[in-house]
Structure 1
Amino acid sequence: MARTHHDDAIDRSFDELNDRGIVALQNAGDTMSDGWTDVYEVASTRSAPARGAVFYHGQDLDADVAGEGLRLAFGAFEDDLAKRDDPGAEIARDVRDVLTSHGVRVKWDGAVSSRIEIPPFAWRKRRWTAAPQPRSAGSVCPR
């Protein structure tokens, strides 16, 4: 059986969060602003409304690869700014609990103004490619 890596557990966690109505994106744009743009784009294509979102962006990924840990942005989809903190904290607790259930250690101080942090880990993302397709009879090999 193949060894499960930390980033595999993050993948599984994000899949579960998406199933639970939270838009969970990895490497969403390069900046926080790009990440939220990607989140809203994905949320607008869902058949059921999303409760909120969690993501990390390219700069977060760069920091993680450099050994600084991975920081996750989160928030609730609530139009009334006065009511956004409680649902935002609920989203963060759900994210924390799902990550923890998959064996990912997290740090979060409970404040909606703070990001969830995953301590540094060895990044081992695998790359998958499609198997080569057989050439049809008479095809020419490119040079």
Structure 2
Amino acid sequence: MKQETALTPDVLRDAEERARELIRCGFQEPDEIAESLVDELDDQGVTQEEAERIVAPLWQERLAEQASWPETTDVDRLEEAFDALEEQDIVAAMDFTCCGSCGYEEIGGEADEDSRGFVFFHQQDTEAAAAGHGLTLRYGGFRTTEEPTALSERRTAEIGREVVAALEAVGLPVEWDGSPSNAITVTPLAWLNRLPE
């Protein structure tokens, strides 16, 4: 039996749709998704209790859908490529920070002394991929402040080529023109990311 809610039909519909989007992304736990709903919709009366009540059946619905998924999904392949890049001393971070600016600012904190470069996609990229728009990857080489720009661009392009090679090695389709100024796109991509256990 469906529980009564104090939310208007429009707010309830918006909250359910937002919860579905975050569940499709596949990186957050149910309580984190509920907190996100409260953060985004508290001015419309969504409380923590309401948010948890909205998330619970949608989470179960997604778990049921997962039963029919292929054994290896595109997101599994993506994770395999990122693991391989980590082994090549490239920091590879999935669903990292809220946006590109924060990602570029914070990725150095994930590096160790052997790290040569990085690749990441942020939470907005995840949402775009989950909505069927392909996945944008940001990448680069770690540089010293005295390093000439030309050398930095060559290193970034080299990291880009390694990222593309790792993605292609696991069978993912990649679009990139070879320019260190342009992002790498994985498309088309079926975003089937299993929920955290």
TM-score for both structures, normalised by structure 1: 0.82
> Which segments of structure 1 move beyond 4 Å, counting only runs of 4 or more?
none
Determine helix, strand or coil for the equivalent of 2:185. strand
In structure 1, the partner of 2:127 is 62
Shift in Å, 1:33: 1.7
Determine helix, strand or coil for the equivalent of 1:120. coil
In structure 2, the partner of 1:35 is 103
Counterpart amino acid of 1:68?
Answer: H
2:114 alignment partner, one of 39, 49, 52 = 49
Q: Which has the larger radius of gyration?
A: 2
In structure 1, the partner of 2:170 is 102
Shift in Å, 1:124: 1.2
Matched ranges for 1:75-114 at <5 A: 75-79=140-144, 80=147, 81-114=149-182
Shift in Å, 1:22: 0.3
Percent pairwise identity: 35
Q: Output the CA distance in 1 between the equivalents of 2:162 and 2:78.
A: 14
Supply the RMSD in Å over aligned alpha carbons: 1.3
1:121 alignment partner, one of 189, 192, 196 = 189
Counterpart amino acid of 1:8?
Answer: D
Q: Output the CA distance in 2 between the equivalents of 1:116 and 1:72.
A: 5
* 90-99 or 115-124, larger mean C-alpha shift: 115-124
Which ranges in structure 1 are unaligned for 5 or more consecutive residues? 130-143
Length, aligned pairs only: 125
* 77-86 or 94-103, larger mean C-alpha shift: 77-86
Q: Deviations over 1:100-141 (max 9, x none)?
A: 001111010011110000013221111242xxxxxxxxxxxx
Which ranges in structure 2 are unaligned for 5 or more consecutive residues? 1-69
Shift in Å, 1:67: 1.4
Distance 1:82 1:121, change over 3 A: closer
Q: Output the CA distance in 1 between the equivalents of 2:117 and 2:161.
A: 12
Shift in Å, 1:3: 1.8
